Each structure stands twice: as structure tokens, then as C-alpha cells.
């Protein structure tokens, strides 16, 4: 099997396109086939190298690698349409010679008027065929006279076109609603319908998985394959991804590009897993009547192993960021800590916590990550969850009316005092030592459960809520001992925090 993803480099990689790329990749990888990246940049106006680079970066980020492509070489290159112009030219000439194509001199204004007319009178809005009957001589004369014609494909009117879509089954079009498409523009550039056919044929693509918006292009393309003497590939049209209001997913629904989801702090494996679930489900999803085994979350290699086109659904899917977040939480929990620490770095800087950690610094962050990874949806929430490390002020905490109220109680005050005293002579805390200290405070004050731990939380973290103290306390004290060279902002230790809090409380 040879499959391809063929984006036009005219902007960011949209999640809908990413899903199309993913389905192609999944089928290629799951079948031991070949995955090809081809850049469709025949529209010089809109295409840019920046977009191409961005798309390549995003595909790589998602982990969708290709065997042949503009940067990878391969036996069927080049893989950029702008570098294949000579091929289109030669096939266009062939079509012209065989009378399968003809020159069209119609102007855009003329075409627009005809189209409006057709719609107004209830006829199909397709090319009227004005230049179809022009003789070679007539055409040649007009070209010599300086006119710049486009080239149109002569759609045979005899037969209907039927193709077996791998996800939908037979799709039938009446030939007489298919207008003659432009295959080469007046400026000599090939048009989409022509370039894809030439490329897919020459690159020996066996399966074309693409969006449903291409379904009505398919009959013209099949006719072009036939006129060129090529065998059409198997087509599979995917339904589109919609926004919550069932309109096409767009910026007004929020994030739509892969780059945006990355910068919000989603993990690539989460996006990939979630995207695979829109319009596809693993064979025993839901466990049928047996119920139970939740097997929607799976690593990408398993996705590839289990993917098949006959499990792809027919109806459009709504992009649900809540479910994406759920997948992300899952992958956050099982991801490697050091990797997470590295990935979280940019978010700290955005949050105003400047840091340039060295190896020790990363190791520390990885350790601290344990108190964020299980309680956060996205990486961009990590700094807030870890703010208690870098941002501590007993005075600020005590300015909170609710805290003042809590500290009016004798029990809470006793806990604060006892904690400060216990800590005054204690070494840095790890989990066990913290528990021992907590027990001491409990013994000395008689406070327990919430009445014991909540004041401790206030004192040590400066906050009424946050990660488990078992996790937060060791992280704070480990951070307090970090040398400046670690590149982590200074962290006030538990001992110092308790001292400061007790002092501040006396005021």
C-alpha cells in the first residue's frame, strides 16, 4: 500500500487535516505500506515556504513520519508540485493531442455570468462548453493573436461515473452534471484536479484517504485517470470535523490548528489518540453487550495495528475539547517526568517565572512535576499548580480574610507555633520526615485531620488549596537546597516559611 498526505502550504495545519494525515499514516504503518508527503503548492499566490515548514514541523510533532517527501527523497520525486511542472505540461500536451482536452478562451467575467444564469434558471452550475467546439485552427489563430487560453479536460458525456468508496460504498454521478474542468491555467500552472491525478498515478498511490469535500472532485479525476491510461486508486472519503454548533470547525470555535493545541499544552500522543477517535473506533469498542473494557486510549502503534477503513464512520464528528483534555490527562499521568519538565519550561517563562535550568534544575522540576501531572489538564496549567514553590509570602497569605478567620482559632494558632518550633531544628523534609513532623505537631496540639493539616498547608504553601502535602513539602525543601547554578528561581524552605508565618501571625 502506498498512501500520501498532500497539504497545500497555505497556512497552519488544521486539526481536520491532521486527522486526514493521521488516518493515511495509520493505514500505511499498520499495513507495512509506504507513507508519502507531497506538497501541493501550485497556487503560487497563496503558497509559502513558511507554511510548508510549519506543516512539516507539526506533522513531525505529531509523530507522523513519512518515507518519501520533499525533505526525504524517494524514487517518485520530486515531492513538491512546483518542481513537477514539466510533468504536467507533458501530460497536458498528450491530452490535447488526443482531443481529450481543449483550449478555453472564456474570461472569468463571462464564466461568472454564465454560472449565475444557470443557477437562476435552475440548471446545474457547470461550464457551458463554449470553447469545446473550437477547431484546432481557430484556437491556434487566437493564441497567435495573443490570447492566453486555459486548458480544459473534455469530460466524456456518455457514461455515469461510479466508484467504490472504501468507507461509503458505491457513489454514483451522472456524467452530464460534471462540467469540463480546467486542467492548466492560463498562466501555465496546473490546476488541482489535474496535478493530483498525475501525481497520484506517477507516485503509484494505491489508496487516497481525504476529506469528504473532495467527493465531488472524484468523478472528474477518475475520468482523467482513464483518459491518461492510468488505473485509479481506491478512494476513501472521510466525513468532516465540525465545531460544537455543527458548522465547519473554525477560529470562532477556539483553537483549530495543531500549533495552537501544542501551545496550549496538549501532548502530541493525546491529540493523535483523540483525533483517531473521531470517526473511527477500535473493533471491540465499548465491549458490546459485555460492556466494560475501556480501550479508547491506546498508544499510537496499537492504533496503527488496529486501524482499518471499514471501521471508519460515515457521519461528521464534532470536535470535543473536553474529551481531548481527558486523553491529555491520561498521557500526562504516564509521561516521563523529565520530558514533562522540559516541555513545561516555556510555560513558566510565559507565567513570569524565569528559569534556565541545568541538569539538576530539570531533575528538580521532574521531581516537582509529581504534584502537577495528575491534577492538570494541560501543560500550560503547570506553572499555576507549582506556583507555591516560587511564590511564597506569609504576609500575603495572612491578608486573605478567610485565612485570618481560620487563624483566629486557638487550635490553628497552636499548630502554627508547634510547626515552627518543630521545624526550627529539623533537617530538610522528605516525605517521611514531614509525616513525622506532622505527627509531632499533632501530639503537641491535639489537632487532627483537617484541623491539623489545613493550617500546615497554609503555613507551608501559603495557599488554602493545592497538591497533596506529601508531594508539595518534599518538593519545597528539595528546591530550597538547590544551588543557584541549577537555574531555578530561589525557593524558600519549609523551616523558613514556618518561621516567617509564625512571625507574621504575631503582628
Which of 90, 116, 157, 247: binder of RNA (CB under 7 A)? 247
Query: If you search the block for the grid coordinates 490553628, which residue do you land on?
Result: 412
Using the minimum distance from each CB to RNA, give the nearer residue, 40 or 68: 40
Interface of this chain with RNA, residues 295 to 334, rule: CB under 7 A: 296, 311, 313-318, 320, 322-323, 325-326, 329
| Total site size for RNA, rule CB under 7 A | 99
Q: For residue 183, which phi and psi values (nearest 5 degrees)? A: -110, -25
Give yes or no for residue 464 binding RNA (CB under 7 A): yes
Task: Using the rule CB under 7 A, give the single segment among 59-67, 94-102, 419-427, 464-472 that binds RNA.
Answer: 464-472
Give yes or no for residue 361 binding RNA (CB under 7 A): no
**Closest to 155 measured CA to CA, from 186, 136, 181, 189:** 181
- State the catalytic residue, choosing from 93, 251, 333, 448: 251
Task: Using the rule CB under 7 A, give the single segment among 91-99, 353-361, 410-418, 460-468 that binds RNA.
Answer: 460-468
Q: For residue 151, which phi and psi values (nearest 5 degrees)? A: -115, 130
Using the minimum distance from each CB to RNA, give the nearer residue, 372 or 486: 372
Collect all residues with Cβ–Cβ distance below 8 Å to 442 and sequence separation of at least 6.
Answer: 448, 452
Give yes or no for residue 370 binding RNA (CB under 7 A): no
Instruction: Please tell me the distance from the alpha carbon of residue 255 to that of residue 250, in angstroms, as a whole number.
Output: 8
Give yes or no for residue 168 binding RNA (CB under 7 A): yes
Collect all residues with Cβ–Cβ distance below 8 Å to 396 and sequence separation of at least 6.
Answer: 462
- The upper half-sphere exposure of residue 220, i.e. CA atoms within 13 Å in the direction of its Cβ, equals 24
Which of 279, 357, 383, 493: binder of RNA (CB under 7 A)? 279
Task: Using the rule CB under 7 A, give the single segment among 89-97, 243-251, 253-261, 420-428 that binds RNA.
Answer: 243-251
Which of 55, 242, 303, 437: binder of RNA (CB under 7 A)? 242
Interface of this chain with RNA, residues 376 to 415, rule: CB under 7 A: none
Instruction: Please tell me the distance from the alpha carbon of residue 149 to that of residue 136, in angstroms, as a whole number.
Output: 13
Give yes or no for residue 289 binding RNA (CB under 7 A): yes
Which of 189, 270, 403, 420: binder of RNA (CB under 7 A)? 189
Give yes or no for residue 232 binding RNA (CB under 7 A): no
Helix axes 469-480, 359-368, angle to 10 degrees: 160
Interface of this chain with RNA, residues 67 to 126, rule: CB under 7 A: 104-108, 111, 115, 118-119, 122-126
CB of 45 to RNA, least distance (A): 8
Using the minimum distance from each CB to RNA, give the nearer residue, 32 or 401: 401
Instruction: Please tell me the distance from the alpha carbon of residue 126 to that of residue 196, in angstroms, as a whole number.
Output: 21
Sheet architecture: strand order including 101-104: 101-104, 150-153, 182-184
Nine-digit cell at 93? 500536451
Interface of this chain with RNA, residues 201 to 230, rule: CB under 7 A: 212-217
**Closest to 3 measured CA to CA, from 22, 11, 330:** 22
Please state whether beta strands 150-153 and 182-184 pair in parallel, antiparallel, or not at all (unpaired): antiparallel
Nine-digit cell at 378? 494541560
Using the minimum distance from each CB to RNA, give the nearer residue, 159 or 172: 172
Query: Known catalytic residue: 251?
Result: yes
Q: How far apart are the first and last CA of the chain?
A: 76
Task: Using the rule CB under 7 A, give the single segment among 53-61, 93-101, 275-283, 348-356 that binds RNA.
Answer: 275-283
CB of 65 to RNA, least distance (A): 21
Which of 234, 263, 281, 337: binder of RNA (CB under 7 A)? 281
- Contact indicator for 348, 387 with CB cutoff of 8 Å: no
Instruction: Please tell me the distance from the alpha carbon of residue 320 to that of residue 260, in angstroms, as a whole number.
Output: 15
The catalytic residue positions are: 251
Amino acid at each position: 500500500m502506498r498512501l500520501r498526505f498532500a497539504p497545500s502550504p497555505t497556512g497552519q495545519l488544521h486539526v481536520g487535516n491532521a486527522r486526514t494525515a493521521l488516518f493515511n499514516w495509520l493505514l500505511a504503518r499498520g499495513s507495512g505500506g509506504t507513507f508519502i508527503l507531497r506538497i501541493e503548492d501550485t497556487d503560487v499566490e497563496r503558497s509559502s515556504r513558511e507554511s510548508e515548514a510549519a506543516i512539516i514541523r507539526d506533522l513531525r510533532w505529531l509523530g507522523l513520519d513519512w518515507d518519501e517527501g520533499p525533505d526525504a527523497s524517494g524514487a517518485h520525486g520530486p515531492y513538491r508540485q512546483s518542481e513537477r511542472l514539466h510533468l504536467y505540461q507533458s501530460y497536458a500536451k498528450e491530452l490535447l493531442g488526443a482531443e481529450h482536452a481543449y483550449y478555453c478562451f472564456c474570461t472569468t467575467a463571462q464564466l461568472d455570468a454564465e454560472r449565475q444564469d444557470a443557477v437562476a434558471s435552475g440548471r446545474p452550475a457547470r461550464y457551458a462548453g463554449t470553447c469545446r467546439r473550437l477547431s484546432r485552427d481557430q484556437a491556434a489563430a487566437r493564441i497567435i493573436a495573443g490570447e492566453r487560453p486555459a486548458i480544459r479536460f473534455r469530460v466524456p458525456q456518455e457514461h455515469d461515473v461510479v466508484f467504490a468508496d472504501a468507507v461509503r460504498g458505491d457513489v454514483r454521478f451522472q456524467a452530464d452534471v460534471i462540467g469540463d474542468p480546467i486542467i492548466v491555467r492560463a498562466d501555465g500552472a496546473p490546476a488541482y484536479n489535474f496535478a493530483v491525478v498525475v501525481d497520484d498515478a506517477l507516485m503509484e498511490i494505491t489508496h487516497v484517504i481525504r476529506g469528504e469535500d473532495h467527493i465531488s472532485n472524484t468523478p472528474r479525476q477518475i475520468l482523467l485517470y482513464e483518459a491518461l491510461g492510468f488505473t485509479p486508486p481506491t478512494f476513501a472519503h472521510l466525513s468532516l470535523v465540525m465545531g460544537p454548533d455543527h458548522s465547519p470547525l473554525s477560529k470562532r470555535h477556539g483553537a483549530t490548528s495543531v500549533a495552537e493545541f501544542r501551545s496550549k499544552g496538549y501532548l502530541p500522543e493525546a491529540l493523535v489518540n483523540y483525533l483517531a477517535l473521531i470517526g473511527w473506533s477500535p473493533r471491540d469498542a465499548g465491549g458490546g453487550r459485555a460492556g466494560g473494557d475501556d480501550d479508547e486510549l491506546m498508544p499510537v502503534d496499537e492504533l496503527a495495528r488496529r486501524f482499518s477503513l471499514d471501521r471508519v464512520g460515515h457521519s461528521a464528528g464534532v470536535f470535543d475539547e473536553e474529551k481531548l483534555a481527558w486523553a491529555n490527562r491520561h498521557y500526562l499521568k504516564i509521561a516521563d517526568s523529565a520530558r514533562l519538565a522540559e516541555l513545561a519550561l516555556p510555560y513558566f517563562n510565559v507565567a513570569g517565572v524565569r528559569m534556565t535550568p541545568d541538569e539538576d534544575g530539570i531533575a528538580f522540576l521532574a521531581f516537582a512535576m509529581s504534584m502537577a501531572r495528575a491534577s492538570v489538564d494541560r501543560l500550560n496549567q503547570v506553572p499555576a499548580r507549582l506556583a507555591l514553590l516560587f511564590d511564597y509570602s506569609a504576609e500575603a497569605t495572612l491578608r486573605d480574610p478567610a485565612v485570618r478567620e481560620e487563624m483566629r482559632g486557638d487550635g490553628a494558632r497552636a499548630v502554627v507555633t508547634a510547626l515552627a518550633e518543630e521545624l526550627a531544628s529539623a533537617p530538610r523534609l522528605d516525605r517521611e520526615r514531614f509525616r513525622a513532623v506532622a505527627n509531632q505537631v499533632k501530639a503537641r496540639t491535639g489537632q487532627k485531620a483537617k484541623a491539623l493539616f489545613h493550617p500546615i498547608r497554609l503555613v507551608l504553601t501559603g495557599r488554602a488549596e493545592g497538591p497533596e502535602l506529601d508531594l508539595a513539602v518534599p518538593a519545597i525543601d528539595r528546591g530550597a537546597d538547590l544551588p543557584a547554578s541549577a537555574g531555578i528561581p530561589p525557593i524558600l524552605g519549609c523551616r523558613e516559611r514556618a518561621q516567617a508565618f509564625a512571625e507574621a501571625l504575631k503582628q
